[in-house]
């Protein structure tokens, strides 16, 4: 089925056998005795070298073989004469599928800035950096499904369009088929959403959790893995308007079980990448090391592979929010007034605080638990003291929050109380509340932002560079 991939060909034993290559030219180099064409089809970071003789083909044909052009090459697989590769292809025939005029083709064999590549997101998968990231992203997604499948979880598809605005209405993207130039009005002059497609206001989901819980109350262990949307106008290196979230939800899991699962899960998927993406990780590690050369020695971070192994090999630090606040209050940057935001019990930790804990104080991933109820969502289980909730955030070096989760409130009265307290109309959530009336059970879950995981594993600084076509404020071109 289809041609052999370059990845497979590079592993074959060279026996002069006929071989067909299909791919894009990365570079063409001419010497006195040979023309070297480095071809890549995206199956691996490595190019295959095709060797032609000067004069073997017409000038016209050879002039159309330029960086970015797409070729079919027929030849023979032979042992490589040069160093740097084991096999190469002795070219017999070249068919040019598509040229790429070097006067206008934007990707030339030189270093391009990540910012520039973002402007040509339709072509950037053809670079070494982005093809490596996309292969790693794939491997991680595969590992996610494999992990949960092995653990007896069921993949539940939760809806993308939702009518519940439970998670903070301001951050949602509206879904409508109403004519914005001719909005139907009620007698009072408000927009009449009864005439909208679903007969009510609908948005893109910010999380599959609430529906995920419905699944867990029947199948015990489920997970979702789908796109989520947040219209938060945060132009940070860690936020996208469209991102993929993995949300396991488990009946009969308490906060401890939830933490154990979260830690084991991230470690296992990172391990999968370490085993299966060696070449790509090595490439990215070298790329990062290059970038870091300009920094003074003591500011350089661990090499990528060491950083990943470190996270896999060491237990995450677990502590309560209250303990974390104490550490921050005693910290040097607090005493020297170096934090931009105030520290005190009750604050929503900002990323400078999280990063201090993870990168300076503990120097490893941290799981913070038992946050003040006021700064967390209504569905989190109240602690005995009534002041804190059974929340857990997993914080990673360089990333900050990678996972947010909690044990869920399973008590109907308490949950209803919280719903009213935060000003949600219980009627909008009648179906969610009913799970607490019919066979309620202790249960827990969490959400992992998939791109933040890919960011961590690839070492990329900006989340916009770990998703093929990023969506962020004022950008939805591709």
In the complex, the residues that contact ligand ATP under the rule CB under 6 A are 230, 232, 238-240, 243, 245, 401-404, 447-449, 451-452
Q: Which of 257, 260, 261, 254 is nearest to 223 (CA)?
A: 261
Q: Which helix (H) or strand (E) holds 351?
A: helix 351-355
- End-to-end, the C-alpha distance of the chain in Å comes to 30
Query: At closest approach, how far in Å is the CB of 281 from ligand ATP?
Result: 21
Q: How far is the CB of 448 from ligand ATP (least distance, A)?
A: 6
Residue 381 Cβ, how far from ligand ATP at the closest point, in Å? 16
The distance of closest approach from Cβ of residue 237 to ligand ATP in the complex, given in angstroms and rounded to an integer, is 10
Is the CB of 410 or the CB of 451 nearer to ligand ATP?
451
CB neighbours of 459 closer than 8 A, spacing ≥ 6? 284, 285, 288, 304, 307, 398
Q: How far is the CB of 449 from ligand ATP (least distance, A)?
A: 2
Nearer to ligand ATP, 21 or 366 (CB): 366
Q: Are 250 and 220 in contact (CB under 8 A)?
A: yes
Cα–Cα dist 203/164, whole Å: 8
Spatial CB neighbours of 161, under 8 Å, sequence gap ≥ 6: 175, 198, 202, 203, 204, 205
In angstroms, what CA-CA distances link 187 with 88, 190, 199? 76, 8, 17
Residue number, 243 or 283, with CB nearest to ligand ATP: 243
Under 8 Å between Cβ of 284 and 129: yes
Least Å distance, CB 376 to ligand ATP, is 9
**Least CB distance to ligand ATP at residue 209 (A):** 9
> What is the C-alpha to C-alpha distance for residues 111 and 127, in angstroms, rounded to an integer?
10
Instruction: Find the shortest distance in angstroms from Cβ 225 to ligand ATP.
Output: 12
Nearer to ligand ATP by Cβ, of 248 and 447: the residue is 447
Q: Using an 8 Å Cβ cutoff, are 204 and 160 in contact?
A: yes
Residues in the chain: 478
Side-chain half-sphere of 216: how many Cα atoms within 13 Å? 29
Closest to ligand ATP by CB, 48 vs 261, is 261
**Minimum CB separation from ligand ATP for residue 354, in Å?**
9
Which phi and psi angles does 309 have, rounded to 5°? -65, -40
**What is the Cα–Cα distance from 352 to 402, expressed in whole angstroms?**
15
Neighbour count for residue 462 (Cβ, 10 Å): 14
Closest approach of Cβ 121 to ligand ATP, in Å? Answer: 17
Minimum CB distance to ligand ATP, residue 78 (Å): 48
Closer to ligand ATP by CB, 401 or 434: give it: 401
Q: How far is CA 29 from CA 96, 106, 212, in A?
A: 17, 19, 55
Is 67 or 258 the residue whose CB approaches ligand ATP more closely? 258
Nearer to ligand ATP by Cβ, of 190 and 476: the residue is 476
Which residues on neighbouring strands pair with residue 75, listed in sequence order?
Answer: 19, 91
**Shortest Å distance, C-beta 87 to ligand ATP:** 42
CA 379 to CA 158: how far, in whole Å? 18
**Nearer Cβ to ligand ATP (71/463):** 463
Q: In what order do the strands lie in the sheet with 161-162?
A: 161-162, 202-204, 174-175
Q: Please, which residues bridge with residue 126 across strands?
A: none
CB closer to ligand ATP out of 279 and 401: 401
Question: Judged by CB, which is closer to ligand ATP: 201, or 401?
Answer: 401
User: 3-class DSSP state for residue 279?
Assistant: helix
Closer CB to ligand ATP, 40 or 209, in the complex: 209
Residues linked to residue 475 through DSSP beta bridges, in sequence order: 472
């Amino acid at each position: 089925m289809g041609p052999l991939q370059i990845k497979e060909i590079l592993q074959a034993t060279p026996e002069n056998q006929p071989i067909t290559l299909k791919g894009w030219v990365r570079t063409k180099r001419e010497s006195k005795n040979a023309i070297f064409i480095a071809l890549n089809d995206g199956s691996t970071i490595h190019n295959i070298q095709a060797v032609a003789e000067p004069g073997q083909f017409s000038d016209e044909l050879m002039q159309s073989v330029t960086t970015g052009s797409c070729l079919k090459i027929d030849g023979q697989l032979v042992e490589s004469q040069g160093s740097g590769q084991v096999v190469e292809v002795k070219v017999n025939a070249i068919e040019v599928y598509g040229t790429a005029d070097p006067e206008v083709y934007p990707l030339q064999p030189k270093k391009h800035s990540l910012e520039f590549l973002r402007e040509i997101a339709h072509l950037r998968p053809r670079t070494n950096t982005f093809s490596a990231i996309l292969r790693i992203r794939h491997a991680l997604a595969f590992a996610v499904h494999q992990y949960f499948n092995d653990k007896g979880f069921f993949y539940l598809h939760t809806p993308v369009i939702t009518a519940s605005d439970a998670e903070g209405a301001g951050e949602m993207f509206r879904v409508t088929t109403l004519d914005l130039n001719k909005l139907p009005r009620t007698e009072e002059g408000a927009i009449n959403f009864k005439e909208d497609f679903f007969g009510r206001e609908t948005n893109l989901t910010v999380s599959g959790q609430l529906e995920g819980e419905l699944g867990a109350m029947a199948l015990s262990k489920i997970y979702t893995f789908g796109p989520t949307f947040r219209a938060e106008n945060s132009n940070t290196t860690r936020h996208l308007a469209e991102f993929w979230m993995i949300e396991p939800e488990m009946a009969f899991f308490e906060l401890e079980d939830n933490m154990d699962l979260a830690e084991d899960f991230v470690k296992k998927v990172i391990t999968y990448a370490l085993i299966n993406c060696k070449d790509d990780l090595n490439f990215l590690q070298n790329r990062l090391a290059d970038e870091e050369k300009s920094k003074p020695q003591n500011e350089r971070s661990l090499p990528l592979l060491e950083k990943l192994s470190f996270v896999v090999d060491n237990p995450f630090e677990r502590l309560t929010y209250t303990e974390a606040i104490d550490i921050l209050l005693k910290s040097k940057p607090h005493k020297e007034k170096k934090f931009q935001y105030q520290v005190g019990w009750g604050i929503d930790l900002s990323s400078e605080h999280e990063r201090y804990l993870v990168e300076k104080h503990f120097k490893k991933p941290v799981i913070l638990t038992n946050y003040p109820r006021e700064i967390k969502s209504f569905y989190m289980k109240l602690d005995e003291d009534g002041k804190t909730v059974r929340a857990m955030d997993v914080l990673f070096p360089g990333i900050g929050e990678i996972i947010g989760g909690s044990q869920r409130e399973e008590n109907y009265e308490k949950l209803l109380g919280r719903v009213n307290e935060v000003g949600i109309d219980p009627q909008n959530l009648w179906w969610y509340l009913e799970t607490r009336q019919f066979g309620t059970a202790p249960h827990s879950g969490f959400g992992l932002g998939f791109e933040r995981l890919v960011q961590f594993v690839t070492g990329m600084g900006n989340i916009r560079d770990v998703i093929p076509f990023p969506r962020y404020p004022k950008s939805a071109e591709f």
